[in-house]
Amino acid sequence: MSLPPVYFHCFRTPVPYTTGLALQERIHALQLLARKASRSHRDYLLLLEHRPVFTFGRRQHETSEGIGAEMMRLKGLGADCVPTQRGGQTTYHGPGQIVGYPLLDLGRSSPPMGIRDYICRLQKTLELHLLEGHNIRHVPSEHTGVFLDPRTKVASIGVQVRHRLTTHGFAMNVTHEPLPWFDKVVACGLTDVRAGCIAEAAKQETTTKAITVAGELPALISRFGRVFGRDVVELDVSADGEVEEAIRATQREAVGAGPWPQIPTP
């Protein structure tokens, strides 16, 4: 039996991180309720940029006593700082970077998809996007994420799975905008690794086309569907429904948040 489609939505205005987190939690709760009632729940893929924010993985804020001082330092740069329940360590999100939040039920398939398989598919999606879209070959690494070379990371993955329902997801640097922010932290705990981006790597491939977040999204969505074996259909956010209303509220909050800092405060 074929699986139902995944419904996607692309936000056009950078979303505050805590607002995006609240949206994920709201959809997760609705999926869980619908599954218990009738198993008619939908899967979703949210694609967006965040306003500048540094986030911390659950291991850091559960075990580290020094995270408070680090958060104060990073807030001084002009970014938000948010502890999360995802895996991984400190990372940055902001304009110029695609963030993807797949909100999927891993139990739909038979047998259910394991967490390791899920993460591998996310990574494969990003690797295919670089290769097919830009002729950029990734370099295999012992670390989770996608690397342009052993010391340059272009994409990260950090997920959470509860009741077989996924939250959090992946982030891929598209333009140079995120790079000065990444320079302010040891991202993902990798001391000898710097952040790279598609625009930087594609320039080395002598491409002439402009590279933007909006321009990357259609092909990335298509590749996500291919790797996961699912149709991916745009969600009609004008429709009645609790998920649609939550997305509209998130869009309003993103627009109302106003301008964001373009570069770290010196």
Q: Point out the catalytic residue in the list 10, 81, 188, 197.
A: 188
Alpha-carbon dihedral angle through residues 119, 125, 130, 131, given to the nearest 10 degrees: 110
Q: Which residues of 63-102 are buried (b: 16+ CB within 10 A; e: fewer)?
A: eeeebeebbeebeebebbbbebebbbbbbbbbbbbbbbbb
Helix (H, G, I), strand (E, B) or coil at 55: strand
Q: Which residue has the tokens 């902001």?
A: 94
Respond yes or no: is residue 188 known to be catalytic. Answer: yes
Nearest to 89 by CA among 59, 52, 67, 62: 59
With contact defined as beta carbons under 8 Å apart, do 51 and 260 qualify?
yes
Tokens 């964001």 — which residue? Answer: 260
Cα dihedral sign, 257-261-264-266? negative
> What is the distance of C-alpha 115 from the center of its chain?
16
C-alpha 256/C-alpha 92 separation (Å) is 22
Active site members: 188
